[in-house]
Amino acid sequence: MVGAAMLKNLRRKTFGDLKANWGQFLAVWLVVTLGTAFYGAMYPAGVNMRESLYRTYDQLHYMDFQVQLGDALMEPQIVDEVRAVPGVENAEGRLVIEGGVQLDADQDYPVSLRLISVPDDREPSVNQNDITDGRTIQGPDELLLLKSFADWNEIEPGDELRVRVNDQMLTMTVAGLVFNPEYLVAGRNSTSPFPALSSFGVAWVRYSWLAGQSGVENGQINDVVVHLPGESSTEPKAGADDVREHLNALFDGTNAQVFARKQTASGGVIDANINGVFPLMRFYSGVFLLGSTIITGVLLARLVESERQRIGTLRAMGVTRRELMLHYLTFGAFIGITGGLVGSILGYLNSFWVMNTFLHYLAGGTLPGFVNTPQIPFLLLGFVIVAAGSTVAGAYPAWVQSRTPPGVALRPATPKTPNAISQLRLRFLPPVLRRAVRGILRCRDVRWVRRWAWSRER
């Protein structure tokens, strides 16, 4: 009966301590929650961003290879020969012309605008456009404009633009704004891969119109994009090396250059982020979780240490060490479980912000294949670590304190005698710095600081 009553009183003491020390418990709980939230936001956001990018590539049939012919022109039959290469799923021939657009009537020079042809009677089979605003091209004097470029320059569907083609200034209407995987990062080329939306844009027009304005006849092209079967991933698709060898042989003797996806402007930047930035996000997730666990352990240890006399009283009343440990274990378990649960939910919600921020600054905020699936195993691992760590952090200090005999524990804690080095006068320092340095010198882990101060004092 006595034992049952004592355990009941311990449970009442648990709620009483939580109520009396709510500020300290709230501080520890916030540390656990924020650490778990950052853990659940960084790496899962990187994983889902990579999945979103590859999903977008597959939806819009993003090229695996690009053949640039430069200033040379080739007959459209070359596209059929590319399609016949073993391992090629589809290919699209294009006419790419460097032009300009007059965005400000007061400027003497136009902004660079790359004009890319699309078939007159169908959608492109490779590097398809996703129309985010407006509609598709319906007339010869209409164009589709890259959304990130349009947003930067405050251009909307229906606006008229003065476009320069072959030293001619023509008036064209913006039919729609589009996202295109080839210009997810709107870089000019592989040597200038990062977007400069104030000076470079991309537009898509009908082939017949662009060819007529450029003086090109017989369906000639200067660019071919190639798509291979299979899903996109960090590894090259099956047979990619063989396809590249065939393409090099097919265009041998010309000035054509064959580029893999990651050798292009946008593809190279995205590949660098996947292989560089996203692993760092995994590292920072672990740092946040480990840091919050360590801080929680320190704070709970200090809290239990402040309960030293109460622990001695309970031991004198007959409470066993095991019962005391279970009592203080409740503190850590409550903080770890609730903080880990709330932090995991906040971390998943925060991952949307991380992904959208990345998209906004890198790609203009649009990604047709956007997906943010909860990384349940990863989040569960973080929850288990923080819950277990907080529980042990509350139980271990109580077990240590309960080893002290009740008579000794009931006495006030013996003040720690400052060491001789921490009492150095340090007269060469201002009073404020002097106090700070003396506080640091009381720590046992800064021996090099002590040696430096001792040499200065002598």
Q: Which tens digit of pLDDT belongs to each residue from 327-386?
A: 777 777 888 888 889 999 999 999 999 888 888 877 777 888 888 989 899 889 889 988
Q: Is 24 exposed, middle or buried (0-12, 13-18, 19+ CB in 10 A)?
A: middle
User: Could you give the percent of the chain with pLDDT greater than 90?
Assistant: 26
Whether 228 and 181 map to the same domain: the answer is: yes
pLDDT tens, residue by residue, 40-74: 888 888 889 889 999 999 999 999 999 998 778 88
Domain boundary residue, one of 227, 244, 270: 270
Lowest mean pLDDT across 189-193, 246-250, 273-277: 189-193
Whether 163 and 247 map to the same domain: the answer is: yes
User: Could you give the percent of the chain with pLDDT greater than 70?
Assistant: 79
Q: Is residue 343 part of a domain?
A: yes
Domain boundary residue, one of 270, 287, 311: 270
Upper half-sphere CA count for residue 451 (Cβ side, 13 Å): 4
pLDDT for residue 401 = 67
Q: Is residue 145 part of a domain?
A: yes
Q: How far is CA 45 from the centre of its chain?
A: 5
Whether 399 and 444 map to the same domain: the answer is: no
Q: Comparing C-alpha atoms, which of 329, 347, 331, 330 is closest to residue 383?
A: 347
pLDDT for residue 413 = 57
pLDDT for residue 13 = 60
Task: Compute the mean pLDDT over every residue in the chain, rounded to the nearest whole number.
Answer: 81
Q: Comparing C-alpha atoms, which of 132, 79, 45, 387 is closest to residue 251?
A: 79
Lowest mean pLDDT across 178-182, 392-396, 407-411: 407-411
Q: Is residue 101 part of a domain?
A: yes
Q: Is residue 414 part of a domain?
A: no
Q: Is residue 416 part of a domain?
A: no
CA–CA separation, 261 and 323 (whole Å): 64
Q: Is residue 415 part of a domain?
A: no
Lowest mean pLDDT across 150-154, 185-189, 388-392: 185-189
Whether 39 and 74 map to the same domain: the answer is: no
Q: Is residue 152 part of a domain?
A: yes
Lowest mean pLDDT across 34-38, 186-190, 305-309: 305-309
Whether 287 and 174 map to the same domain: the answer is: no
pLDDT bin (cut points 50, 70, 90) of residue 390 is: confident
Domain count along the chain: 3
Domain boundary residue, one of 253, 270, 287: 270
Q: Is residue 321 part of a domain?
A: yes
* Domain extent at residue 370: 2-57+271-409
pLDDT for residue 441 = 60
Whether 325 and 386 map to the same domain: the answer is: yes
**What mean pLDDT do residues 88-114 have?**
86
Whether 42 and 153 map to the same domain: the answer is: no
Whether 29 and 14 map to the same domain: the answer is: yes
pLDDT for residue 209 = 92
pLDDT for residue 299 = 75
* Token duo for residue 256: 């054509």
**Is 458 a residue whose pLDDT tops 60?**
no
pLDDT tens, residue by residue, 134-160: 999 998 889 999 998 999 889 999 999
Instruction: Tally Cβ neighbours within 10 Å of residue 417.
Output: 7
pLDDT tens, residue by residue, 415-448: 555 556 556 667 777 776 777 766 666 554 444 4
Whether 376 and 431 map to the same domain: the answer is: no
- 168-179 and 142-146 as β-strands: parallel, antiparallel, unpaired? parallel
Whether 433 and 321 map to the same domain: the answer is: no
CA-only gyration radius of the chain, Å: 34
Q: What is 79-123 written as a DSSP string?
A: HHHHHTSTT--EEEEE-EEEEEEE--TT-SSPEEEEEEEE-SSS-
Whether 319 and 333 map to the same domain: the answer is: yes
pTM for the full predicted model:
0.75
Whether 146 and 85 map to the same domain: the answer is: yes
Contact indicator for 402, 315 with CB cutoff of 8 Å: yes
